[in-house]
Amino acid sequence: MIIVVGEALVDLIEDDAGRPVAHPGGSPANVAVALARLGLSTGLLTQLGDDPHGQLLRAHLRDNGVRLAPGSLLDGAPTSVARTTFDGDGQPRYAFDVTWRAFPVSEAVPAAAPECLHTGSLASVLTPGADDVLALVRAARPTTMISYDPNCRPALMGDHRLAARRIETLVGQSDIVKVSVEDLGWLYPGDPYQQVARRWTDLGARLVAVTLGDQGAWARSHADETRVDGVAVEVVDTVGAGDAFMAGLLADLRDRGLLGVGHRAALGAAGADVLRPVLAHAARIAALTCGRRGANPPTRAEVAAADWPTRASA
């Protein structure tokens, strides 16, 4: 069982005629759906309003086999919304109307410890709820592996130094951190991503994976570091690609017996011979997602059927 904590929202994405069309979204919700499509038992603790957007999201989660955790339905608040437009390269640009309230941490701690608790994105930085996310991570950590994706949205993150400090605090509480090179460029302008990842493993993360766009991905454990190149794909858009990568990373680590609190030492000791195929698997899942409109990750069967080997590793 994997529990995901964070926002679910409706993406209003322009179609080919420039008209906004409502799609289920939100980075943590995307990760939860991608995990469920890959065959993992998945729950989501989020915040949804009782409105048409909230009903769309609840149906989407239910239809994909994601269990909605108690406390995820809000009274008297609208469901969060993102408005997405695209540049000439298919890269998304976002405008957000997001609510992330405080929640009772004691009621959110699962009765049975999951293998992994994943969080990130807006829910990990928007107060007041972000304070409770951190408290939940700390409460779960003794019995649960923690994964984290900062998925930075600078327009909503306020003071840069405070945001970086909050992110570093969560990195220090996490076993697995996935981050994009664009996120690191905003957090630490001019610092090579390898240098930042080494600092983050010094903070306590057992594995830091950095996505490099169409250049692939790079990762560092306490024992080794390695890189894989990307997968050639005709890009429709990149919405949800990083979330699909995150889910692919967790799913493959689980398949290899490296997910769960009892496997922290083995994860930290993973060498390039383990990290490279894990990264390649996650990159394939991200590539399949880029070939579709919106956050629409593949199922385990679709991943198995695709024959897109990564280019030579470096």
- Does the pLDDT of residue 101 top 90, yes or no? yes
pLDDT at 275: 97
The structural domains of the chain, with segments of one domain joined by +, span: 2-305
DSSP code string of the chain: -EEEES--EEEEEE-TTS-EEEEEE-HHHHHHHHHHHTT--EEEE--B-SSHHHHHHHHHHHHTTEEEPTT-BPSS-PPPEEEEEE-TTS-EEEEEE-------HHHHS-SS--SEEEEEGGGGTSTTHHHHHHHHHHHHTTTSEEEEE----GGGS-SHHHHHHHHHHHHHH-SEEEEEHHHHHHHSTT--HHHHHHHHHHHT-SEEEEE-GGG-EEEEESS-EEEE-------S--TTHHHHHHHHHHHHHHHTT--SGGGHHHHHT--HHHHHHHHHHHHHHHHHHHTSSSS-PPPHHHHHH---------
pLDDT at 96: 84
- Does the pLDDT of residue 196 top 90, yes or no? yes
pLDDT at 202: 96
- Express as a percent the part of the chain with pLDDT over 90: 72
pLDDT at 90: 64
Mean pLDDT of 71-98: 81
Architecture of domain 2-305: 3-Layer(aba) Sandwich (3.40)
Assign 308 a pLDDT band (cuts: 50, 70, 90).
low
pLDDT in tens, 134-181: 999 999 999 999 999 999 988 888 889 999 999 999 999 999 999 999
Among 16-20, 47-51, 204-208, 309-313, the minimum mean pLDDT is found in 309-313
Mean pLDDT of 110-120: 92
Assign 18 a pLDDT band (cuts: 50, 70, 90).
confident
- Does the pLDDT of residue 310 top 60, yes or no? no
